[in-house]
Amino acid sequence: MEYESVIGLEIHVELATKSKMFCKCSTVFGEAPNTQTCPVCLGLPGSLPVANEKAVEYVIKSGLALGCDINLYSLFHRKNYFYPDMPKDYQISQYDQPLCINGLIDLDMGDYQTRIGITRIHLEEDTGKLIHVGGAGRIAGAEYSLVDFNRAGVPLMEIVSEPDIRTPEEAKAYAQKLRAILQSLGVSDVSMEKGSMRVDANVSIRPKGSAEFGTKAELKNLNSFRSLQRALAYEIERQTKALNEGRPEDIVQETRHWDEAKGITSTLRTKEYAHDYRYFPDPDLVPMEFTSDYVEYLRAQLPELPDERKQRFMREYGLPVHEANLLTESKAMGDFFEETVKLYKGDPKAVANWMLGDMSYYLNTEGLEIDETAVTPKHLAELLKLMDKGVISGKIAKEIFPEMFETGKLPQVIVEEKGMTQISNEEEIAKIIDLVLEENASTVEEYRAGKDKAFGFLVGQAMRLTKGRGNPQLINRLLREKLQE
């Protein structure tokens, strides 16, 4: 039987506010344990939460950018459960009146377009971090456990998609597009590596065309877009195999852990019984009420979003749709492109070609984002200018790119250090050509006998003697002149 997969993503994003969700503590990452805390985020008796207005604003802006309806009346609820990383043993979250509902993300999958619905976006507080010492590093069997509350109370935005995603590729594209949108808003770092963007995926399969849902598994520990795609592909295959081989009991409602190294998912915990979180409106926080004027005021502040930018790149720089898509995949990529074009003042397509060619190759190899390298728009613009001026050839440009990428040295500096400037002196080239003609008399004969291919060989020899630095146009011209003599 042919199956299709049904995927929904729950994405948690840490908001880039200066202070925590319900207190004034800093959200700075990486400080000594329990130094970014106060009575409120430690849940000390008598402390009370006060909502961070900036965080609320960020969520509404995100909702507007994602085409959501904004609830003008919204509530914080308490989600009650005991766990040592939760200072109050309840999490302040949202329940039936979240800030945003009914949004969407349109995906351009190259050969087709698809639209993924967004069920809701809500605001909550993050938990602390547990470190289990001894045993297997899990709470069970640990000698003792430590808690760091620095992260407790950092504002978290949860974005829940509809189960509209059908392939691992769409899931990845959805998550990437979401990241690009949030980046353009500046509401979060949205870094999967740093944990400011955390993706959980619900996946089930069903006979193609069926309207019913199969039993879903929730996948956790997806620490990159790549692992999101790989984990889903693995899990879909596992479920498909189970059904094809008559083992439907292998698919149960459960949480599965993705092991990046082994490339498999395995049971983390089964949902034997559903948690009863006993949600109720938090009496310590007054309901949030907004006017539509306020919402429109925020809408008017929205920056250019990735889709708009893509259209503009096509219009303004004459880029084909594919290139425009890739260059707007992240905010940093688009910013780099535009900045380079501005500095270079030459053909934007040349910039696009370099970025999507050599640059993307090195970024992928190193697993880096464009803004995490030593290369800046100035580097690329100068490199292009050196080529345009004939100081270096394209071949040399490709040669010096890795060093520029690794060291951050400007191309001019590398070229000078290595003496890689192009030889464009006619006299010098003429001497070299004389030498080539002398050493390859038989080839010269072949050329004169009408064998065109021989010309290319002679050019190659001249380039060899100049160690690749000879100006190719000049070599071509002089060689032809000499052969016709």
Partner 1 sequence: MELYQMTIHELHEKLLNKEVSAKDVTESVFSRIEGVEDGVKSYLTITKEVALEQARQVDEKIAAGEKVGPLAGIPTAIKDVMCTQGIRTTCGSKILDNFIPVYTSTAVQNLFDEGIVMTGKTNMDEFAMGSSTENSGFFPTRNPWDLERVPGGSSGGSAAAVAADEAIFSLGSDTGGSIRQPASLCGIVGMKPTYGLVSRYGLVAFASSLDQIGPFTKDVTDCAIVLNHLVGHDPMDSTSVKIDRPDYTKSLVDDLKGIRIGIPKELMAEGIDPEVKKVVENALEIFSKNGALVAETSLPNLEYGLSAYYIIAPAEASSNLARFDGVRYGYRVPDPDDLMDMYMRTRAEGFGDEVKRRIMLGTYALSAGYYEAYYGKAQKVRTLIVRDFNKAFEEFDVLVSPTSPTVAFKIGEKIANPLQMYLSDICTIPVNLAGLPGISVPCGTVNGLPVGLQIIGRALGEEAILKVAYSFEQNFGWNEKPKLEIRY
Residue with tokens 């009575």: 39
* Interface positions, 21-40, toward partner 1 (CB under 8 A): 39
Q: For residues 27 and 154, is the Cβ–Cβ distance under 8 A?
A: yes
CA pair distance 127, 74, nearest whole angstrom: 22
CB nearer to partner 1: pick between 153 and 334? 153
Which residues lie near Zn ion (CB under 5 A)? 23, 25, 38, 40-41
**Residue whose C-alpha is closest to residue 217's, from 228, 199, 232, 227:** 232
Look at residue 42 and give the partner it binds from Zn ion, partner 1, none, a contact being a CB closer than 5 to 8 Å depending on partner kind.
partner 1
Whether 187 and 16 have beta carbons less than 8 Å apart is answered as yes
- Scored b (16 or more CB within 10 A) or e, 197-231 reads bbbbbbbbbbeeeeeeebebbbbbbbbebebbbbb
**Least separation in angstroms between CB 72 and Zn ion:** 29
DSSP one-letter code for 287? P
Residue 38 or residue 305: which is nearer to partner 1 going by CB?
38
The one-letter amino acid at 88: K
- AA letter at 81: Y
The residue within the footprint of partner 1, chosen from 3, 29, 67, 80 (CB under 8 A), is 80
Query: Which stretch in 44-52, 58-66, 184-192, 322-330 sits in contact with partner 1 by CB under 8 A?
Result: 44-52
Minimum CB distance to partner 1, residue 94 (Å): 16
Binding mask 132-171 for partner 1 (x = CB under 8 A): -------xx------x------------------------
**Tokens at 331, concatenated:** 């905010």
Nearer to partner 1 by Cβ, of 52 and 340: the residue is 52
Per-residue contact string for residues 185-224; x = within reach of partner 1 by CB under 8 A: ----------------------------------------
- Per DSSP bridges, beta strands 155-161 and 113-125 are antiparallel
* Residues recorded for the chain: 485
78 binds, among partner 1, Zn ion, none (CB under 5 to 8 A by kind): partner 1
Report the residue number, 23 or 100, with the smaller CB distance to Zn ion.
Answer: 23
Place of tokens 């082994």: 262
Name the minimum Å distance from CB 284 to Zn ion: 15
Site for partner 1 in 231-290 (CB under 8 A): 276, 278-280, 283-286
